Amino acid sequence: MKKSNKKAFSIIEILVGIFIFSLWITSVYAVISSTLRVNDYNANYIIASNLAREQLELVRNIRDSNYKMIKPYNLKNPDWTTYSNTDKFSTGSYYKIENNYSTFANASIIDVNELTTFVEWEWELWNMDDYRLCIDSHNRYTYDCSAPGNIQTRFYKYISIEEVKYSDSGITEIIEDAFLLKSKVIWYIRWYHEFEVNSIIADWKRL
């Protein structure tokens, strides 16, 4: 009787093969998962950066509109009927700002509302609804989350106003006719993230 020369895999060899295959599958999954997380972060980062820069442009638009009406450069929400000069941006304050899509003839095209109870940080998310963003039926970002059909997002945005200071030889001076505008967007998607961009808004017609 002839002996068979065929060799069978032992249990140990099979287990080693399964282990190596499992390592390969785990590595592939880790790479795919990491790539998806990076793509997700990048997409949200782009949204946040665009929202923050939009806020800067809205404030510049307000300043230039004030020039057109021969009004103070830092007037916010100008009254288009009485042209009141009393409502100005103030340093040390926080505001939410957005386009106004109202059809009223005398309505300001940009709404600015002060945040009187400002809070911020990861453990304060439930107190930040005053400047949380929602998406309306036209896929536009809005602060109005109470309207029927508007969908809440995990993005929050606001601006803050600070003095412009100049230091020289230990002496600090405040520059008049200008303010430091900080535009910030926060999002809580796969942890807490922030994006901030700053700009000096100056009364360049007077400087």
Mapped to the 3 state alphabet, what secondary structure does 144-201 carry?
CCCCCCCEEEEEEEEEEEECCEEEECCEEEECCCEEEEEEEEEEECCCEEEEEEEEEE
At residue 130, the pLDDT reads 93
Residues 6+ apart with CB under 8 A from 173: 165, 166, 167
Query: Would you place residue 22 in the very low, low, confident or very high pLDDT band (cuts 50, 70, 90)?
Result: confident
Buried b (16+ CB within 10 A) or exposed e, 87-117: ebbeeeebbbbbeeeeeeeeebebbbeebee
Candidates 158, 162, 155; CA nearest to 199 is 162
How do residues 35-91 score in pLDDT, each as one tens digit?
777 788 999 999 999 999 999 999 999 999 888 888 889 998 766 555 555 689 999
3-state SS track over 109-142: CEEEEECCCCCCCHHHHHHCHHHEEEECCCCCEE
- Rounded CA gap, 125 and 128, in Å? 5
How do residues 117-165 score in pLDDT, each as one tens digit?
899 988 898 899 999 999 999 999 999 998 899 999 999 999 999 999 8
Length of the chain: 207
